[in-house]
Structure 1
Amino acid sequence: MTQVRDIMEKNVITIDYSKTVHDAATTLREKEISFLVIIRDSKPSGIISERDIVRKIAAEDLVASKVTLEEAMSKKFRWVEPDTTIEDAVQKMLNNNIRRLIVLENENLAGVITQTNMTEFLRSKILINGTVENIDSENS
């Protein structure tokens, strides 16, 4: 059974909690990504996403350079361990209506798994299954 460790992104872009939302937005643009893991005392303490910035900063007409990440971040992030099955991770994402899960190993950031990772995994699984079915039908 495939585990989260098999498809997770290991190179996670992080930012310190004391930075501003403007700093985060700049990093999101430069790295062409949609979220950052916020670190405090070397541990993940939250997430800031493009969606958070739109809903919590832009929609409230706040000045991004004056709002700290600690004020704006989503503190109740969901996480899994690297040995969590893909099926369990998908279920956790669906149950919580979220697009990404932080991967923690011994409370340390090990990676992240996103809807995109899941989609790529499922696509390759479908293609492999289709190829196997074609081979089986040719050999019958």
Structure 2
Amino acid sequence: MKVSDAMTTQVSIARPTDSIRQVAQTMAQVESGVVPVVEDGKVVGVVTDRDIVLRVVAEGRSFDSPISEAMSDGEVLSVKEDDVLADATAKMANHQVRRLVVLNDAGALTGILSLGDVAKDYGAKQVGKTLEEISQESDEAQ
């Protein structure tokens, strides 16, 4: 099974200059806890509801600040549409994440792959294994 068989293709995006409030409202409207941040057709970051809580609410930042202040940037973990789903779940486990950005061959965003997508289309056994690996303490924390 390929990533494209399981991923969510209806993905709302944000621009780095969008306000934190705008992105939070988008999350509420589409009932999603993650929004990729795209600039010039490339994913430059990802923001989760957890990022907003930890980097905005907990630090007392303004909701009118740009989302670029709250997003996870640097290396955005991604997979390609035609990657094998088992390899994608292994990547989730290795990096201890529950979601991956899905890109096409040109590097453009085509979807999001979440553990929920995997559960729906790949099976509870694989999700359980991946979740167990994601939830383990990393070697640095031990």
Asked whether the two chains share a fold, i.e. TM above 0.5, the reply is yes
How far apart are residue 125 of structure 1 and its match?
Answer: 8.8
Query: d(CA) in 2 for partners of 1:58 and 1:79?
Result: 27
Residue correspondence of structure 1 range 107-126 to structure 2 within 5 A: 107-123=107-123
Query: d(CA) in 2 for partners of 1:43 and 1:122?
Result: 28
- Greater radius of gyration (CA): 1
**Which amino acid letter does the alignment assign opposite residue 46 of structure 1?**
G
Counting aligned pairs with the same residue, the percent is: 28
How far apart are residue 124 of structure 1 and its match?
Answer: 7.8
**TM-score normalised over the length of structure 1:** 0.82
Aligned length: 124
Alignment-derived partner of residue 38 in structure 1: 37
Q: Does 1:93 align with 2:84?
A: no
**TM-score normalised over the length of structure 2:** 0.81
Query: d(CA) in 2 for partners of 1:39 and 1:32?
Result: 19
Q: Which runs of 4+ in 1 moved over 2 A?
A: 122-126
Alignment-derived partner of residue 14 in structure 1: 13
Which of 66, 69, 79 is 2:67 aligned to?
A: 69
**Which amino acid letter does the alignment assign opposite residue 98 of structure 1?**
V
Secondary structure of residue in 2 paired with 1:101: strand
**Which amino acid letter does the alignment assign opposite residue 10 of structure 2?**
N
**Which amino acid letter does the alignment assign opposite residue 119 of structure 1?**
A
Alignment-derived partner of residue 102 in structure 2: 103
